[in-house]
């Protein structure tokens, strides 16, 4: 109650209690967050962060919820979702400054319309800019890091800082932001001029490839990182895991690196599928594949 009263003092956004995280994840899995809020802007977010830090309240910040598996017990403390208020966009020549809550497909479509190339690969990635920067999202041989010049972050100390790309330690599905726990507020991208028609064509090609090869059921995209020089999906398929099912969590028949929710999957089912897939791949090939998705929340 102290938390609710404290938050109400600093924020005019609606504070929800026991909010089911399954309503905010692409997997449709996840127990309740004790407290849940969608802040109205950076200042409010900063106040919330400082309040949580001073009161020792756990804080979980996320955006699209397309790369997280939330436990069945849910999130303790405050879950903060960045969306509406963080969708700002400013295009100046080939330089694009965009808020963390902007969905990638929307950004890719908008920049294409402006005759700016670079984000074709991101048109089919359903998350937001913030989540994509933190894990250096990528596809079809391209990734966010290639386009990022600067990132505006909110540090755990409540400071707003602008960090240059070369300080962010970008690598395959990695950035130093993950370790530092900084919140991405805004990103500056450097794109290149190109004909709208060729950008659109490439985008359609990649979207068609996704439609053909990815399952349509709820998922979090690829569950495992590709080991060096290998495809995790191929190893999983060759280990005979396609169709492996616990409860309603199943390795997709269409793409072995996707674990889908057939309806009522629980996080424990999903985690059990992950464990079994890792074991089988290890037994078959001696390779321990590592999850790419973020597993969060109180353990069961
Ligand atoms: C069908 C499907 C296809 C996909 N295809 C791809 C693909 O081709 N390539 C790829 O890389 N990914 C893919 N993904 C995964 C996912 O869409 C991307 O990783 C996306 O960038 C995640 O963004 P998000 O906003 O949903 O992040 P979330 O799931 O909300 O969060 C992911 C992590 O980032 C952190 N985070 C989120 N926002 C912020 C922020 N503003 N500041 C600090 N931390 C933050 C969260 O705490 C969490 O740890 C796919 C997912 C699905 C469901």
Tokens of 114: 């402006």
Tens of each residue's pLDDT in the chain, 300 residues: 677 888 888 887 889 999 999 999 999 999 999 999 999 999 999 999 999 999 999 999 999 999 999 999 999 999 999 999 999 999 999 999 999 999 999 999 999 999 999 999 999 999 999 999 999 999 999 999 999 999 999 999 999 999 999 999 999 999 999 888 899 999 999 999 999 999 999 999 999 999 999 999 999 999 999 999 999 999 999 999 999 999 999 999 999 999 999 999 999 999 999 999 999 999 999 999 999 999 999 998
CATH classification code of 87-212: 3.30.465.10
| Domain range 216-296, CATH architecture | Alpha-Beta Complex (3.90)
Q: Which two tokens stand for residue 136?
A: 């250096």
For ligand 1, the distance from its centroid to the CA atom of residue 226, given in whole angstroms, is 16
Domain locations in the chain? Answer: 2-84, 87-212, 216-296
Ligand 1 within 6 A of 108 CB?
no
Is residue 11 part of the annotated active site? The answer reads no
What percentage of the chain's residues is helix, strand, coil (to nearest 5)?
Answer: 35, 25, 40
Architecture of the CATH domain 2-84: 2-Layer Sandwich (3.30)
For this structure, is 63 an active site residue? no
Q: What is the DSSP letter of 221?
A: S
Select from 22, 26, 60, 62 the residue to mutate for testing ligand 1; criterion: most ligand atoms less than 8 Å from CB.
Answer: 62
Q: What does pTM read for this prediction? A: 0.96
3-state SS, residue 150: strand
Report whether residue 135 contacts ligand 1, using a CB cutoff of 6 Å.
Answer: yes
For residue 169, give the 3-state DSSP assignment: coil
| Catalytic option among 19, 117, 173, 252 | 173
Query: Is 245 among the residues known to form the active site?
Result: no
The protein residue with its alpha carbon nearest to ligand 1, atom 43, reads: 183
């Amino acid at each position: 109650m102290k938390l609710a009263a404290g938050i109400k003092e600093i924020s005019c956004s609606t504070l929800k209690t026991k909010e089911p995280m399954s309503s905010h994840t692409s997997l449709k899995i996840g127990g309740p967050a004790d407290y849940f809020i969608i802040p109205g802007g950076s200042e409010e977010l900063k106040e919330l962060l400082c309040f949580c830090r001073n009161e020792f309240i756990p804080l979980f910040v996320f955006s699209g919820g397309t790369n997280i598996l939330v436990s069945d017990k849910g999130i303790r403390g405050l879950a903060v979702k960045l969306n509406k208020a963080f969708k700002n966009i400013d295009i100046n020549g080939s330089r694009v400054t965009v808020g963390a809550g902007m969905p990638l497909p929307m950004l890719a479509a908008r920049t294409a319309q402006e005759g700016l190339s670079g984000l074709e690969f991101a048109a089919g990635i359903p998350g937001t800019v913030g989540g994509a920067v933190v894990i250096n999202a990528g596809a079809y041989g391209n990734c966010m890091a290639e386009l990022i010049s600067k990132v505006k972050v909110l540090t755990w100390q409540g400071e707003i800082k602008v960090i240059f790309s070369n300080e962010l330690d970008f690598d395959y599905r990695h950035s130093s932001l993950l370790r530092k726990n900084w919140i991405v507020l805004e990103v500056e991208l450097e794109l290149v001029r190109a004909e709208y028609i060729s950008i659109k064509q490439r985008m359609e090609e990649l979207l068609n490839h996704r439609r053909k090869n990815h399952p349509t059921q709820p998922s979090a995209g690829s569950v495992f990182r590709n080991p060096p020089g290998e495809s995790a999906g191929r190893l999983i398929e060759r280990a005979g895991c396609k169709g492996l099912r616990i409860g309603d969590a199943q390795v997709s028949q269409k793409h072995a690196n996707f674990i889908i929710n057939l309806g009522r999957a629980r996080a424990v089912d999903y985690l059990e599928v992950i464990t079994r897939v890792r074991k089988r791949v290890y037994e078959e090939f001696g390779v321990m594949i590592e999850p790419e998705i973020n597993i969060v929340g109180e353990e069961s």
